[in-house]
Amino acid sequence: MIAIINYKMGNLQSVGNLLEYLGEEYVITDKKEEIAGADKIILPGVGAFTEAMKNLRELDLLDILKEEVLEKKKPFLGICLGMQILAEKGYEGGECDGLGFLKGEVRHFDLKDKKLPIPHVGWNTVKPKEGSILYGNDVRERVFYFVHSYHLICKDEEDVSGYADYGGNFVASVEKGNIFATQFHPEKSQDDGIEVFKNFLAYKSA
């Protein structure tokens, strides 16, 4: 069973639909017992960093996420905003502490090319790094769908598993032990996105 965390941030059913297509059982939930009973956790999300953290606090989900992901090492996938709030700090909607699963912070795009629109919306190429689980240890470039104005700046380069370019390189995905996350939306990225989901679902914690 896979728990999709419901914290009132974006369309969660699109992730559920893809899991159903892949034959996986899932539950969209904000209940601690269902999160604790799941084999894997997915945290999607679209919206502002500050609002996301506020909702997680109000739902009293911060401790259960830290327990299941950091202590029990349950496989975890963050998507878009769900990746950003893994950072120590974000600035969308004001300065705000994140979950702190990853060392780094989330900043607004500061593009030298002012002709590039913000938000960054649409298809973009991702260059995976060697050894990535999400990309099946295949450094072949792939195309994914993005929608964001802010991006994660990682302090530890080794946590980054893929980069994309939008007026300069930015972090497209991270992998740290049992923690996986993508800035892009794999559930909206056709075959390449399905591959990412399959690789995450096949992962088992050591």
Please report, for the chain, the start and end positions of each structural domain, with discontinuous segments joined by +: 2-202
Coil, strand, or helix at residue 36? Answer: helix
Distance set, CA 91 to CA 6, 22, 125, 150 (Å): 22, 36, 26, 9
Per-residue pLDDT of 133-192, as tens digits, reads: 999 999 999 999 999 999 999 999 999 999 999 999 999 999 999 999 999 999 999 999
State yes or no: is 154 an active-site residue: no
State yes or no: is 151 an active-site residue: no
Distance set, CA 19 to CA 12, 15, 47, 106, 192 (Å): 11, 6, 22, 28, 15
Indicate if the pLDDT at residue 205 is higher than 80. no
Please say whether the beta carbons of 182 and 83 come within 8 A. yes
Which pLDDT band holds residue 206 (cuts at 50, 70, 90)? Answer: low
Which pLDDT band holds residue 26 (cuts at 50, 70, 90)? Answer: very high
Percent of the chain predicted with pLDDT > 70: 100
Catalytic residue among 20, 68, 80, 130: 80
Per-residue pLDDT of 30-76, as tens digits, reads: 999 999 999 999 999 998 999 999 999 999 999 999 999 999 999 99
Determine whether 135 is exposed, middle or buried from the number of CB atoms within 10 Å of its CB (0-12, 13-18, 19+).
buried
Fold of 2-202: Rossmann fold (3.40.50)
Catalytic residue among 20, 151, 185, 195: 185
State yes or no: is 80 an active-site residue: yes
Q: What is the pTM of this model?
A: 0.96
Tell me the mean pLDDT in the region 65-92.
98
Catalytic residue among 68, 92, 105, 187: 187
List the structure tokens of 177.
């032990």
